[in-house]
Structure 1
Amino acid sequence: MRMKLWLYLILSVCFMLAVGFLYYSSWRISLRVWVHKSLYDEQGFLLKLDGTLSLELTYKYGNLSKGACKPGFAAAKMTAIYPKFNKLAPVFLDLNYKRFAKIGDYPPPFGVKSQERIIDHLLSVTKNYGLGENLDIISCKTCIIMGNGGILINKSLGQQIDGFDVVVRLNQAPVKGYEKDVGSKTTLRITYPEGAIQKIDQYEDQSLFVLSAFKAQDFKWLRYMVFKQGLNIPTLGTVAITMALHNCDEVAVAGFGYNLNTPHAPLHYYEKISMSAIKESWTHNIIKENKFLRKLHQTRKPRNKKTCQRAPGSSPPLQTDTVKTLHCQDHQQWMMGHQDQFTCC
């Protein structure tokens, strides 16, 4: 009996010691984590942003001639204020991008989740996965990122900007006509579909187009552009027609039709853009849209030859021999007048 009592006592003491040790250890761990995290802000930057480099790097860069490119300097300074920075992490996707397992865990713009098939297709025809041979061989590259702010006006920085090895521009920022202030050189032009230049001839020769994909649709857009599959986005006019067919009993259209045989005719009634501009669209397939409208027109049926009823205060009635009816769906109808002027009766 006495042995059992001692045994219970020893077990109780051991249990209390174990609990105490675990409690103490967890407190110490929490304290260390708290102390460690207190060195950084919520983004992972050091709270003390002095950017001090190691003595070795300070000596290395200090011995370079004035104005010489400093190899690895930007990465070293970045690491000094953001220790998680890893220069070896690739910026551009290549055929081995799946070696980074986490890249497939997040959707764009933070990963490529559900986009692997499209990306594989694009990379299969990509000629270079870096900046290109002429730049990749440079051991120390100087780069400048050009913003589009008005602060550049009348600063005459163009010549200085062009002196960098790599000049990066954003979206549709023009160069021609602004060379004095922004330079004439473009190495990379980073954009996303909505901000891209729509006319191919406006892209600079020898420059690289860099897509910054923010959403899944952006990869599809790039595939369409590369493989000429992208002319599938309807004009708003066609969208409106489709909407009307689903919501109206009678549908009339006016001002439609792109006559590519008259390239100098106005594209729109309210601006001076010519008809030829529509051929340069990256997103709209005007030929297919014309075929779509033509099919609707070709399936029209003549109405009975009678005069349309005239509403009070309206224009003189149209004779039905100048009006054709197209039965699209159930009670939905299209009426077309002469000379591509659409009306309804």
Structure 2
Amino acid sequence: MKTIINFRIKGLMYILCFLCILATYSWLLVWSTKAIIHQMEKPLPMGEKAITEHTVDMDEEIGTEKTFKFNGNMSLTLEDEEPQSKCKKQLSLPQKRWLSARYNSNIAPIWTENNLELDYQVLDWWLTLQSSIGMDTGKLMHKLFDFGIPEKNPFYRSNKEISEKCRRCAVVGNSGNLKSSNYGKEIDSHDFIIRMNRAPTTGFENDVGSKTTHRFMYPESAIKYLPKGVSFVLTPFKPLDIKWLLSALTTGEITKTYAAVPNKVICDKSKIIVINPGFIKYIYDRWTQHNGRYPSTGMLAVIYALHECDEVELYGFGADNNGNWHHYWEELPKTLSGAFKSTGVHDSEWEKTILQHLEKNEFIKIHIPSTS
């Protein structure tokens, strides 16, 4: 009897050992697969070389190299193909290499019904931005869809619409260099006028314009009222921001995150859009290349415009002519003039370099007034 029991015990031990070995092997296989995927998705090398190595001098002769057409929305086609947009430009191979190392048309800027599920690497990174806890953002987004915010991109254009009209976009920053710029009418002439956070227009119309189509905000920078037709663009830096948006449109129960936030927001719900966290990480990986903790709202707005527009023009970015960094609606002592440049979160110098290269390659135009 003892022999049979011992035999059975040994058999169970062998089975348990086999299962342990199998479990260890499976864990190693999963871990190595994730490591390979992570290696394949590594961003470009850090440092100035990474952002300049494929930059082309616009005066340089390209010779007999093939050129490409730049048809807005950063689409690239061979020279002898039918252009998709009236805003066609010629891209040289060096320009195309510089752009293709950064731009990815497969990354959707807007969080919609079609891309609700986040990649685990995006989710892990997103949760670190503002020390967040996880929550069911998919469920929250579905509640927002049920409430009436668009399930699809409300600014989507068909190929026919792209071919018939050039979409011109102005991204208006908050720099003090807009003072006395007289850019107002020029800004208002664009199809999209994108503004950030609480930047006012009333009283500054001559310099910054009076129209707004998009306002990029996060809960701590939000204003309580947006006129009808203005798109509230939520830039979610944490899952709680999605919950706050639902609360601000319904119960008003959330009044504080890490700072006080509006408990209610009145806006055109048919124009509300939420930036896809995967889009924020894509900018962090491919454009700002891990410089700073995450991209600024201004950087998000510029890259969003590159994805949605045919022509992109920037106003109100950078310091004024005296080198002071301040908001156009504020008067600050010169001793504090650099406070907005160094936030500890965003790398303003790196973002400035990216914008300079985008302008040098004629993908955007940056307006700097001669006097400010």
Larger Rg: 1
TM-score band (shorter)?
0.3 to 0.5
TM (norm. structure 1) is 0.46
TM (norm. structure 2) is 0.43
Higher relative contact order (CA 8 A, sep 6+): 2
